[in-house]
Chain A
């Protein structure tokens, strides 16, 4: 019994336990636990001092423990793998159980009954199946390992991480998870809210929260997606936790060599989008996605020092055809001939009749390189050291190509309405990590200490297509971009030499045959160089104790320093924008500030270094009360301090107390089932982007000059007449002391006193049962809701902003941010055994509220904690309803079977079926200050639901064993076999006019119920967007991945 000095503890209600102090719960991060009870077969009494020996190819050496007074044994800190447990005591027959599949972060209970020796002196090998239910925890989620990923088609080719087949790309297999714009969304949250952990080190991008290390599954042993119900050892995430354990060496040399290819000619036919608009259209298609690599692992000293290393190269290459169309005009009226969706002329039809004049193919590309290395060293029977390092550099675009956007994984542009130099960037996105982990345990294995230190380093560069960088004074980085938007359209010949003479010539006042409404010319616009670091150290102590049952207590402490240096510029110093009349050009974007009236300092670049320090700790206990029922209880404490670019504390977020309570009961008392309930509070770790922009200030100024003195298409003028002070027009109003300059951005966004950190609560109830050998059936219900949100707001309609908690305190007049998730899941999982595996899950869920998360799905704005959701009160009307991530039905079915053909050949077949109902849509209008699509005319979700999406993905692999250890496998993955092309997005813009929301309105109120801001009548005939409700995107077409792999 261990008594604590209670008085020193902060007053936190921890449910009844005498052993208050030590850490508790099940496994260490990334490792598993084997536990169980040994009984005498004759008397059914527990047997003490039984020697338990645990071995595995994943384990260096062996682990030995003895059972305690109640017959219980516990072997913690085991790497995931397949184990054999030997049970021995004098006077009893030795007993062995092989093939125990142990996953990371789980506890498997193996009981045994010892038979007296008098029966027969032979080892009894029991080949009964080990249970699969993890009896130590109330978590929900999924463990994805190589058994699964080598048999089921995973990591869709065209999606984020598809080229390298990153661990994040496979996470969407989990019940309750789906892909969102920046990664994987779990239980209704957004991808920046997850914790991404590789070998105990957090690899989130410290500036934006999304995954910062797209490590390939080739180098991982397991990806454990924890979607909910997790204990305080995991924190700082209001989404889920993706816990990755990487591969390691073994006592034998093993390795593999692989290559995959998804060629474009095997892509399914894409549905083309009909469009209205200007002369430039686009047709995307797949060119090639593929990777090649190898890995090798083995002993340097057997049972003492192992190594593992790997390397791969991946290419993602898409085609984007830029098509120039000339409109066909009716010779009598001079207006564009209108055709319907089938191309037939019809009165009142929507689309323009066009002929193609030119087609030019661009590539959209990304190259990834991944190098991985690990050393595992067993110092002695009680101490183990692991050193891991990996480098993941990538480069996309430049030199005539466009880039795959590193954040979304998709092409950075949809079409090319401008010049290559203006729209293309070279994107560098590289991660370099190192981790050192030291595990030490006491002889009795009752005390374990796990210490990890690591560095996560990211280098991100958005450069000009010729490679020049933010702030450079030569190259494309020194040429300004111009945005053309004259109401009377330019002819395309104003910007490029269009072949033939169909298009109007340059200088035409208003073009109809080859009009361009929005065109971008010149240099690349905004560029940046970002260096993002995380230094992390943590230590977790586990203590086993007895007292009214058994306790697994844990305590931990961790510290994390994040640093973000962002150097940004506008190429050439500014972006010009043409006025709608075409008469002037303004500095749409320009870093600079005024030191006095009309005294301007223009900045060539702006750089801030911001920091965040987070210190956290936790205590928890997993208490097997009288060994009948398990109570998991604990609390986590975090405090985060954020520093602005001037080095001062800019935001202070202490007192993040996260209580967690869970109860687990095994009705069979043999590890074959469980019923559980769990409550948890989770806190958000604020990414540094907020500090870099709102927290440090982004000063911008604007001026205007006439087109008579400045033609930004001419670079010499950009550097002379366009920036000459004498040519700046008077722009200030009568109240402005500045006549030639307007300050568009200045000052830091202050933080309200009494700010509370952002957090979310969760309740989980569920049950599981081992119904077949190696398979279990389960149900669970998850409920999540937000407690408070940090966002930037304005109480005076965009005059001044500050950061606060909408709905609380001073901001009680703002609606409370809500995001309510209710999900009910039924699932069945069977691990690979007897040559087959299966997984089925069906989730019914409701995601309702007015806050989507750390990014805005409507606009893909990734500015965590400073999106536009709560900026103005007038923006918050009609915002509550089904959120963009709401999918009522989600069905996932995976199955695989291996067929032995003779002694040397094997055929693996796998199939996945997915079906999910569609996303909600909205009816949008324009806000007078914030512009297009910011007014919800009807309540959120009032539009039509998108249709159901289906996907069938088979995988076939043929393996040939040419020696005991060497195999060659040829595989084909087909993603979307039947080439389903469901509509995945529609035009939600009902009107471009500034209109009022119709509070509690319904579809019947359109269009007669619409009122405009300027009080003129709403003219449905001209002001309703003719493209409203039409498809804007379709499901990705069929892709085929062919692979070859040799293992030895």
Chain B
């Protein structure tokens, strides 16, 4: 082989090498999906005058799906979603709702694009609403928190039956809504979503969302900007009991007050080990979050002050 032919061949090799190194781009984008499970969402009121419009937030269950694809395999580019207010499920579990195919407990939507835009945002088209009528519910002696010593405002609160004063268990979410007297009230609720978007990157797949919610209860409406983060983690420490950063704590038949314990929202292992837990809060460590008062967090405890880890209010997505 002549020198020239050989040099030519070698140049081809060199050019090939350079072409390879520049042609291959970076990794592909993730697909638009949501976090799967319970989100804790912060409300920022934009309209509404009723007292219930001042709620601090709510818990929502979110799930994403796949449309039917080729040969029965899932179509990973078409992703329907559902958003379900946990509070509404509690009402339904009392046996008073009327969930049907037409009036579901969840609201449905579908992602507009298979992949996020350049900023990691996936927008959702919400197509249905949560729409329920709950028949009258008798007050079944559910608890309300009162001071153990009414004369001492610093005494710990205990939960007591509204009528008899005996300490009993209750169902979350009902006391505040239905009042403590025996008068039965019917309640209709409607959740209408718009401008819903999820934050999706390789390391945070749909675990924060933002949206606008119009809520109507018995004909009165509120509107909120909603900012949700997954998973929902209770960061309240019950007095007298060691810190527990799982939502379903050990059964304790008396209500206690809780205090905010922000470290329970953190993910760092050292903090976890200090609290004697191997597993962290499960919230993405890149998210900026605060431990804030909330309502209706713990199923076994309806003390007025509950605390939950919420995304920082400043912007969406909330990042460190």
Question: A residues near B, CB below 8 A?
Answer: 2, 4-5, 8-10, 21-22, 442, 447, 449, 541, 543, 555, 557, 593-597, 599, 601, 603, 606-607, 615, 617, 619, 637, 639, 641, 646, 648-655, 697, 699, 733-738, 743, 746-748, 750-755, 795-800, 802-804, 810, 813, 872-874, 877, 927-929, 935, 994, 996-997, 999, 1011, 1013, 1015
Complex CA distance for A927 and B284, rounded to whole angstroms: 20
Give the distance to chain A from B157, nearest Cβ to Cβ, in Å: 24
10 contacts between A and B (CB under 8 A): A593-B74, A595-B80, A597-B82, A699-B66, A735-B38, A746-B64, A798-B282, A873-B267, A874-B278, A1013-B279
Chain A residues whose CB sits within 8 angstroms of the CB of B67 once the complex forms:
595
Within 8 A of A (CB), among B1-56: 1, 3, 6-7, 9-11, 13-18, 20-21, 24-31, 33, 35-38
Decide if A752 touches B27 in the complex (CB within 8 Å): yes
Complex CA distance for A699 and B63, rounded to whole angstroms: 14
Decide if B10 touches A593 in the complex (CB within 8 Å): no
Tell which of B15, B63, B72, B268 touches A8, judged by Cβ atoms closer than 8 Å. Answer: B15
Asked if B106 lies at the interface with its beta carbon under 8 angstroms from chain A, I say: yes
Chain A residues whose CB sits within 8 angstroms of the CB of B28 once the complex forms:
648-650, 652, 751
Give the distance to chain A from B7, nearest Cβ to Cβ, in Å: 7
Decide if A606 touches B269 in the complex (CB within 8 Å): no
Closest to B61 in A: A735
Give the distance to chain A from B126, nearest Cβ to Cβ, in Å: 13
Decide if B68 touches A737 in the complex (CB within 8 Å): no
Give the distance to chain B from A689, nearest Cβ to Cβ, in Å: 18
Decide if B90 touches A734 in the complex (CB within 8 Å): yes
Chain B residues whose CB sits within 8 angstroms of the CB of A999 once the complex forms:
273
**Which of the 9-residue segments B162-170, B199-207, B211-219, B255-263 touches chain A?**
B199-207
Asked if B300 lies at the interface with its beta carbon under 8 angstroms from chain A, I say: no
Decide if B1 touches A449 in the complex (CB within 8 Å): yes
Complex CA distance for A715 and B249, rounded to whole angstroms: 41
Chain B residues whose CB sits within 8 angstroms of the CB of A877 once the complex forms:
269, 278
Known: A637-B21, A737-B82. A596 touches B277 (CB 8 A): no
Decide if B63 touches A738 in the complex (CB within 8 Å): yes
Decide if B21 touches A795 in the complex (CB within 8 Å): no
Complex CA distance for A2 and B6, rounded to whole angstroms: 11
Chain B residues whose CB sits within 8 angstroms of the CB of A22 once the complex forms:
6, 10
Decide if B280 touches A874 in the complex (CB within 8 Å): yes
Give the distance to chain B from A729, nearest Cβ to Cβ, in Å: 15
Q: Number of residues in B with C-beta < 8 Å to the partner?
A: 80
Closest to B287 in A: A796
Chain B residues whose CB sits within 8 angstroms of the CB of A697 once the complex forms:
74, 76
Closest 7 CB pairs of A and B: A735-B61, A750-B30, A735-B38, A737-B82, A750-B202, A737-B106, A654-B24
Tell which of B9, B15, B38, B272 touches A733, judged by Cβ atoms closer than 8 Å. Answer: B38
Tell which of A593, A617, A753, A928 touches B65, judged by Cβ atoms closer than 8 Å. Answer: A593
Asked if B154 lies at the interface with its beta carbon under 8 angstroms from chain A, I say: no
Decide if B284 touches A796 in the complex (CB within 8 Å): yes
Decide if A597 touches B106 in the complex (CB within 8 Å): yes
Known: A652-B27, A753-B202. A596 touches B17 (CB 8 A): no
Give the distance to chain B from A292, nearest Cβ to Cβ, in Å: 45
Closest to B90 in A: A734
Complex CA distance for A289 and B60, rounded to whole angstroms: 63
Chain B residues whose CB sits within 8 angstroms of the CB of A1013 once the complex forms:
277-279
Complex CA distance for A697 and B283, rounded to whole angstroms: 23
Complex CA distance for A872 and B280, rounded to whole angstroms: 10
Decide if B60 touches A5 in the complex (CB within 8 Å): no
Asked if B100 lies at the interface with its beta carbon under 8 angstroms from chain A, I say: no
Give the distance to chain B from A219, nearest Cβ to Cβ, in Å: 34
Asked if B158 lies at the interface with its beta carbon under 8 angstroms from chain A, I say: no
Decide if B76 touches A929 in the complex (CB within 8 Å): no
Complex CA distance for A581 and B312, rounded to whole angstroms: 43
Complex CA distance for A447 and B2, rounded to whole angstroms: 9
Chain A residues whose CB sits within 8 angstroms of the CB of B108 once the complex forms:
596-597
Decide if A929 touches B279 in the complex (CB within 8 Å): yes
Closest to A800 in B: B205
Chain A residues whose CB sits within 8 angstroms of the CB of B15 once the complex forms:
8
Complex CA distance for A541 and B13, rounded to whole angstroms: 11
Asked if B285 lies at the interface with its beta carbon under 8 angstroms from chain A, I say: yes
Decide if B6 touches A799 in the complex (CB within 8 Å): no
Give the distance to chain B from A698, nearest Cβ to Cβ, in Å: 10
Closest to B232 in A: A735
Closest to A752 in B: B202
Decide if B17 touches A734 in the complex (CB within 8 Å): no
Give the distance to chain A from B310, nearest Cβ to Cβ, in Å: 16
Complex CA distance for A22 and B90, rounded to whole angstroms: 76
Decide if B207 touches A1011 in the complex (CB within 8 Å): no
Asked if B89 lies at the interface with its beta carbon under 8 angstroms from chain A, I say: yes
Decide if A615 touches B20 in the complex (CB within 8 Å): yes
Closest to B63 in A: A737
Known: A5-B11, A596-B108. A996 touches B273 (CB 8 A): yes
Tell which of B63, B73, B269 touches A736, judged by Cβ atoms closer than 8 Å. Answer: B63
Decide if B31 touches A735 in the complex (CB within 8 Å): no
Give the distance to chain A from B241, nearest Cβ to Cβ, in Å: 10
Known: A603-B73, A743-B36, A743-B63. A799 touches B282 (CB 8 A): yes
Complex CA distance for A994 and B35, rounded to whole angstroms: 26
Chain B residues whose CB sits within 8 angstroms of the CB of A4 once the complex forms:
7, 10
Asked if B86 lies at the interface with its beta carbon under 8 angstroms from chain A, I say: yes
Decide if A799 touches B207 in the complex (CB within 8 Å): yes
Decide if B282 touches A557 in the complex (CB within 8 Å): no
Complex CA distance for A737 and B202, rounded to whole angstroms: 25
Decide if B284 touches A795 in the complex (CB within 8 Å): yes
Decide if A595 touches B65 in the complex (CB within 8 Å): yes
Decide if B283 touches A796 in the complex (CB within 8 Å): yes
Give the distance to chain A from B228, nearest Cβ to Cβ, in Å: 12
Chain A residues whose CB sits within 8 angstroms of the CB of B13 once the complex forms:
555, 557, 617, 619
Tell which of A603, A735, A799 touches B60, judged by Cβ atoms closer than 8 Å. Answer: A735
Decide if B86 touches A735 in the complex (CB within 8 Å): yes
Chain B residues whose CB sits within 8 angstroms of the CB of A650 once the complex forms:
28
Asked if B314 lies at the interface with its beta carbon under 8 angstroms from chain A, I say: no
Chain A residues whose CB sits within 8 angstroms of the CB of B282 once the complex forms:
796-799
Complex CA distance for A994 and B16, rounded to whole angstroms: 54
Tell which of B11, B76, B80, B286 touches A747, judged by Cβ atoms closer than 8 Å. Answer: B76
Known: A5-B11, A10-B18, A1015-B276. A754 touches B26 (CB 8 A): yes
**Residue with the highest number of chain B CB atoms closer than 10 Å, among A442, A595, A697, A754:** A595
Chain B residues whose CB sits within 8 angstroms of the CB of A442 once the complex forms:
1
Asked if B104 lies at the interface with its beta carbon under 8 angstroms from chain A, I say: yes
Give the distance to chain B from A915, nearest Cβ to Cβ, in Å: 41
Chain A residues whose CB sits within 8 angstroms of the CB of B59 once the complex forms:
735
Give the distance to chain A from B74, nearest Cβ to Cβ, in Å: 4
Chain A residues whose CB sits within 8 angstroms of the CB of B268 once the complex forms:
813
Q: A543-B6, A747-B205, A750-B31 given. 5 additional CB < 8 A pairs?
A: A737-B63, A738-B63, A750-B27, A751-B202, A797-B282
Closest to B3 in A: A2
Asked if B230 lies at the interface with its beta carbon under 8 angstroms from chain A, I say: yes
Known: A734-B61, A753-B27. A595 touches B17 (CB 8 A): no
Chain B residues whose CB sits within 8 angstroms of the CB of A755 once the complex forms:
27
Asked if B93 lies at the interface with its beta carbon under 8 angstroms from chain A, I say: yes
Chain A residues whose CB sits within 8 angstroms of the CB of B14 once the complex forms:
8-10
Known: A797-B282, A996-B273. A737 touches B105 (CB 8 A): yes
Give the distance to chain B from A797, nearest Cβ to Cβ, in Å: 4
Closest to B85 in A: A735
Asked if B119 lies at the interface with its beta carbon under 8 angstroms from chain A, I say: no
Chain A residues whose CB sits within 8 angstroms of the CB of B63 once the complex forms:
594, 597, 736-738, 743
Chain B residues whose CB sits within 8 angstroms of the CB of A753 once the complex forms:
26-27, 202
Give the distance to chain B from A456, nearest Cβ to Cβ, in Å: 23
Complex CA distance for A557 and B11, rounded to whole angstroms: 12
Complex CA distance for A595 and B68, rounded to whole angstroms: 7
Chain B residues whose CB sits within 8 angstroms of the CB of A733 once the complex forms:
38, 61
Decide if B61 touches A800 in the complex (CB within 8 Å): no
Closest to B29 in A: A750
**Residue with the highest number of chain A CB atoms closer than 10 Å, among B35, B84, B268:** B84
Give the distance to chain B from A806, nearest Cβ to Cβ, in Å: 12
